[in-house]
Amino acid sequence: MRQSIGALFSLSRDRWRMSPTRFCDRQRSARIAAVWWSWGTSRVAGTACGVLRERWGQTMVPQPAPTAGDTAWFVHDRFGLFIHWGLYALPARHEWVKQRERIRDEEYQPYFDHFEPDLYDPVAWARATKAAGMRYVVLTTKHHEGFCLWDSALTDYKAPNTPIGKDLLRPFVEAFRAEGLRVGFYHSLIDWHHPAFPVDGVHSQRDDEAFKAAHAGRDIARYREYLHGQVRELLTDYGPIDIIWFDFSYPDRTWGGKGRDDWGSEALLKLVRELQPGIIVNDRLDLPGSADILTPEQYQPRGWMERDGQPVVWEACQTLNGSWGYDRDNLDWKTPDLLVRLLIDSVAKGGNLLLNVGPNGRGEFEPRAAATLAAIGAWTRLHGRAIYGCTASDFTPPPDCRFTQHGNRLYLHLFAWPFRHVHLDGFAGRVAYAQLLSDASEIKLRENDPHQQAQNTAMREVAGTLTLELPIVRPDVLVPVIEIFLKD
Ligand code: GLC
72-386: CATH homologous superfamily? Glycosidases (3.20.20.80)
| 95 in contact with ligand 1, CB cutoff 6 A | yes
- In 3D space, the residue among 39, 41, 59, 42 whose CA is nearest the CA of residue 51 turns out to be 59
CA–CA separation, 16 and 60 (whole Å): 5
Q: Judge whether residue 50 has pLDDT over 70.
A: no
Q: List, for residues 264-296, the tens digit of each pLDDT value.
A: 999 999 999 999 999 999 999 999 999 999 999
Query: Cα of 298 to ligand 1 centre, how many Å?
Result: 10
pLDDT band at 398 (very low <50, low <70, confident <90, very high): very high
Report which DSSP code applies to 451.
T
Query: Cα of 324 to ligand 1 centre, how many Å?
Result: 7
Q: Judge whether residue 32 has pLDDT over 90.
A: no
| Secondary structure E strands in 252-367 | 280-281, 306-307, 310-311, 315-318, 352-357
Q: How much is the pLDDT for 454?
A: 86
What is the pLDDT averaged over residues 389-403?
97
Q: List, for residues 98-141, the tens digit of each pLDDT value.
A: 999 999 999 999 999 999 999 999 999 999 999 999 999 999 99
pLDDT band at 59 (very low <50, low <70, confident <90, very high): low
Q: Judge whether residue 18 has pLDDT over 60.
A: no
What's the longest Cα–Cα distance across the chain? Answer: 84
Q: Judge whether residue 26 has pLDDT over 80.
A: no
Residues with Cβ within 8 Å of residue 81, at least 6 apart in sequence:
129, 132, 134, 136, 137, 138, 354, 355, 356, 357
Please name the helix (run of DSSP H) or strand (run of DSSP E) that holds residue 245, with its range, or none.
Answer: strand 243-247
What residue owns the CA closest to ligand 1's atom 3? 324
Distances (CA, A) of 155 to 147, 151, 450: 9, 8, 74
| 324 in contact with ligand 1, CB cutoff 6 A | yes
What is the pLDDT averaged over residues 71-82?
98
Domain ranges of the chain: 72-386, 401-486
Report which DSSP code applies to 64.
P
Q: Judge whether residue 238 has pLDDT over 50.
A: yes
CATH code that applies to domain 401-486: 2.60.40.1180
Query: Cα of 152 to ligand 1 centre, how many Å?
Result: 22
Query: Cα of 243 to ligand 1 centre, how many Å?
Result: 16
In the chain, % of residues over pLDDT 90: 83
What residue owns the CA closest to ligand 1's atom 4? 324
Backbone angles phi and psi of 397, in degrees to 5:
-75, 155
Rounded-to-10 torsion of CA 446, 419, 386, 36: 70
Mean pLDDT of the chain: 89
CA–CA separation, 189 and 248 (whole Å): 6
72-386 and 401-486, same CATH topology: no
What is the pLDDT averaged over residues 320-340?
97
